[in-house]
Homo-oligomer: A and B are copies of this chain.
Amino acid sequence: MRITVCFTGLKTEPWVQGLRAALPQASVEEWRTGASQADYAVVWAPPQQFLDEQPRLKGIFNIGAGVDALLQRRLPPQALVIRLDDAGMSMQMAEFVCHALIRHFRELDGYEADVKQGKWSYRKPRPRSEMPVGIMGLGVLGERVARAVAQFDFPVLGWNRASRTIPGVRCYAGQAAFSEFLAGTRVLVCLLPLTAETENIMNRETLSRLLPGGYVINVARGAHLVDDDLIALLDSGHLAGAALDVFRTEPLPAQHPFWRHPKITLTPHTSARTLRDESIAQIAGKVLALARGEPIAGVVDVKRGY
C-alpha cells in the first residue's frame, strides 16, 4: 500500500516518519512531481497538480477538521475525502471558547487594562443568567464546546442544520428556527462548516438580532463573517466585542482594521491545532480499516460540503 503526504506551508518530514512508524507495512513518501501513484493521500492545501497526478487515490485524508479549501479543488471522483475527527481538537476548542467567554463575562480584559495603569478597580458582577451562549454548529466540535460551556452554568443554546439533542443545551434546528436562536443569544459562537449556505452567515442582519451587548466568538472560518458588518455593529455599540481566531485571508493582512480594533481580540488561527501524534494514529487506524473494507468515521459528504 502506498501513502503520499502532500502539504503546502507545513513540514512534511515528521508526518512521513510518523506514518511509517504507525504503518510499517505501507510505503509512505512525500510527494514529488512524477511520483508513483498512491492509494491514500494525507494532505494540507495540496496543489491541484498533485490531485491531477493521482487518479487512483482511494482516500484523501485532510489533516484538519474543515475541508472547505480542499473541496474547492478538482478531486479524483472515486476518492473518499476524510476529515480529521477530533484527534484532540474538540478539547482545544472547548478550552479556547471557555477562555474567551469567561474573559468577556468576567471583564478580565478591563481589569488587566486597569492594572496596567496601576488601578485597583471594581466592576459590578453580571448575572450569569444574562449571558446566554448560542453555539452555531453542533458537530463533534460544537457539541463538545456546548457541554463545556454548560458546565459553567451559562444558559446554552445550540443551532444546527439537523435536529440534535444535547443535555443542558436548548437546541434549534434549521433555517426556520434561526431567528429565535439569535434572539435568545448574547454570546454567539461559530463552529459551523464553511459551505455555500453558511458563508457570510454572520452579517449585519443576523448579528443585529443578537441580544444587546452581544459578543462574537469565531473559531470556524473567516468567511462565515462579513468583516465590515461586524465592525459597524461594534462601532454602533450593539455588539460589545469579538474574539476572532479565523480570517478571510490568513495570515490576516497587515492593513486589516481587525488588528487594531479596541473591541476585537484576535489570535492567529490557534483555537484548535492539529496534534500530530493523535492525528497520525487516527489516520493510520482509518487506513487499516479501509484496507479491510470496514466503514470509517469522518467521510465527507462532498455535495453537502462537510
- A residues within 8 Å of B by Cβ? 91-92, 94-96, 98-99, 102-103, 105-106, 108, 111-112, 114-115, 118, 120-123, 125, 128, 148, 151-153, 250-252, 254, 259, 265-268, 270, 273, 275
A259 to chain B: which residues have CB within 8 Å? Answer: 115, 118
A168 CB to nearest B CB, Å: 13
A70 CB to nearest B CB, Å: 21
Copies in the complex: 2
Known: A94-B152, A125-B275. Contact between A270 and B106, CB under 8 A?
yes
Most buried by B among A120, A122, A251: A120
Q: Is the CB of B106 within 8 A of A96?
A: yes
The answer for the CA separation of A265 and B152 in the assembled complex, in Å, is: 23
The answer for the CA separation of A120 and B270 in the assembled complex, in Å, is: 10
Per a CB cutoff under 8 Å, which of B115, B128, B151, B270 touches A266? B115
Q: Is the CB of B273 within 8 A of A121?
A: no
A252 to chain B: which residues have CB within 8 Å? Answer: 120
Known: A120-B252, A148-B151, A273-B125. Contact between A99 and B102, CB under 8 A?
yes
Inter-chain pairs besides A115-B267, A120-B250, 15 sampled, C-beta below 8 Å:
A91-B128, A91-B153, A92-B106, A95-B98, A98-B102, A98-B152, A99-B99, A99-B103, A99-B106, A111-B270, A115-B268, A118-B254, A120-B252, A120-B268, A148-B151
A96 CB to nearest B CB, Å: 7
A275 to chain B: which residues have CB within 8 Å? Answer: 125
The answer for the CA separation of A148 and B112 in the assembled complex, in Å, is: 24
Q: Is the CB of B151 within 8 A of A120?
A: no
A95 CB to nearest B CB, Å: 5
A122 CB to nearest B CB, Å: 7
Known: A120-B251, A275-B125. Contact between A106 and B95, CB under 8 A?
yes
- Can you identify 11 A-B contacts, CB atoms within 8 angstroms? A92-B106, A95-B152, A99-B106, A106-B270, A108-B267, A115-B267, A120-B250, A120-B252, A123-B270, A148-B151, A151-B151
Q: Is the CB of A99 within 8 A of B91?
A: no
The answer for the CA separation of A262 and B152 in the assembled complex, in Å, is: 30
Most buried by B among A99, A108, A265: A99
The answer for the CA separation of A153 and B128 in the assembled complex, in Å, is: 25
**Chain B minimum-CB-distance residue to A96:** B106
**Chain B minimum-CB-distance residue to A268:** B120
A98 to chain B: which residues have CB within 8 Å? Answer: 95, 98-99, 102, 152
The answer for the CA separation of A33 and B250 in the assembled complex, in Å, is: 67
The answer for the CA separation of A248 and B266 in the assembled complex, in Å, is: 35
**Chain B minimum-CB-distance residue to A94:** B152
**Chain B minimum-CB-distance residue to A121:** B268
A223 CB to nearest B CB, Å: 18
